[in-house]
Amino acid sequence: GHVVRNWKVRWFVLLQDKLLYYKIEGGKKEPSPKGRILLDGCTITCPCLEYENRPLLIKLKTKTNTDYFLECCSREERDSWALDITGAIHAGHPVQVQELHKMKNSFKLLENISLHQIVEKMCDSSTGIKLTRNLEQGNRYKETFTGSALVDWLISHSFAVSRFEAVTLASMLMEENFIKPVGTRSTEATRYTDLSEQFLDDSTALYMFAESSKKSTSSKEQLQFNISELSGTIVKQGFLVKQGHKRKNWKVRRFVLRADPAFLHYYDPTKEENRPVGGFSLRGCLVSALEDNGVPAGVKGNVQGNLFKIITKNDIHYYIQASSKAERAQWIEAIKPLT
């Protein structure tokens, strides 16, 4: 409410240029709207974390600087409303609407993302993620946060643009031992071999900071790379999931494809220094897509799909997963001319 700051149930109807809301009497909405929110010039914030005990908010600020806080019944409903309202705000710009829908399930993590910096901001006493006591199956856990709360926080602080992307980022934080699951719900999910299923965007799944996140990580032996192989022209770069050679687990890596000389390097997003953790010459390599029906020999775990393989001239096999078939095709198309 604008006069008395209380919360009331209203029936909302989204039109092309405005959002109408109606009073509910006797389980039915009244015929005339109680009010309206003009969407021209509006800005939308979702998720809105201004109310600590209300995680399901959408905030609308009109061009006359009036703030509206709308609370939904679930995160799915909130995100669906936010997407449709955003589409209505940009209704006069069909290209923007098309981009918004593409962005909903995009996989475009920030190029120079640092997990260390994200964790530092998560730990900030004023703007960081709120730590609370949570109860699960009779057990009480101190200083925890839920999976959905972390996803909301990552989106609201512009580290991700969609829930899919935020879950991927949260999975990276857990994989690199910055955060850890606590309680039955989140711990059981880590038994899945697929990285994308190990972190739960769920309000009942509990997590906390791992002790190692408060310590500086011990540096492993640095791989030495010839300066010339890093001097090539960057043809393509982006985040892919790569199977390790020793443990056969899957980790997100930032891949950089260079030409003249032709090399493919991959970087650990958790490391602040801009040094590759691996790479190889593409001369004499074979690259091919792998069909999604069945897991090929040499691949461990529950593969989500969109897999491709690179075999070097020294017969070293690299298994890599893209986020979609289209992205897989783009990488193969970019690599092939350089082999």
Residue 329 neighbours by CB under 8 Å, 6+ apart: 289
- Between CA 308 and CA 251 the distance in angstroms is 15
Classified as helix, coil or strand, 127 is coil
| Per-residue model confidence (pLDDT) at position 138 | 67
Q: How confident is the model at residue 22 (pLDDT cuts 50, 70, 90)?
A: very high
Alpha helices (runs of H) in the chain, residue ranges in sequence order: 75-89, 94-104, 115-122, 147-156, 163-175, 184-189, 195-198, 325-335
pLDDT in tens, 50-92: 887 788 899 999 989 999 999 998 888 888 898 889 888 887 6
159-181: buried (b, 16+ CB within 10 Å) or exposed (e) per residue? bbbbbbbbbbbbbbbbbbebbbb
Taken in order of first residue, the domains within the chain and their CATH numbers are 10-104 (2.30.29.30), 115-209 (1.10.10.10), 227-336 (2.30.29.30)
| Per-residue model confidence (pLDDT) at position 183 | 85
Tokens of 235: 């043809």
| Per-residue model confidence (pLDDT) at position 273 | 67
| Per-residue model confidence (pLDDT) at position 220 | 40
pLDDT in tens, 101-137: 555 544 455 555 678 888 888 988 888 998 888 777 6
Residue 286 has pLDDT above 50, yes or no: yes
Residue 196 neighbours by CB under 8 Å, 6+ apart: 167, 168, 171, 304
- Between CA 337 and CA 339 the distance in angstroms is 6
Classified as helix, coil or strand, 73 is coil
| Per-residue model confidence (pLDDT) at position 217 | 37
Taking each helix axis as running N to C, give the angle between helix 163-175 and helix 147-156, from 0 to 180 degrees, rounded to the nearest 10.
110
pLDDT in tens, 245-285: 766 788 889 899 999 889 999 988 877 667 888 889 999 99
Q: Are 181 and 189 in contact (CB under 8 A)?
A: yes
Q: Rg of the Cα trace of the chain? A: 23
pLDDT in tens, 310-330: 999 888 889 999 988 999 999
Place of tokens 């990488």: 331
Residue 171 neighbours by CB under 8 Å, 6+ apart: 195, 196, 198, 199, 252
- Between CA 289 and CA 305 the distance in angstroms is 10
Give 243's strand partners: 250
- Between CA 261 and CA 71 the distance in angstroms is 55
Mean residue pLDDT of the chain comes to 81
> In percent, how much of the chain has pLDDT > 70?
81
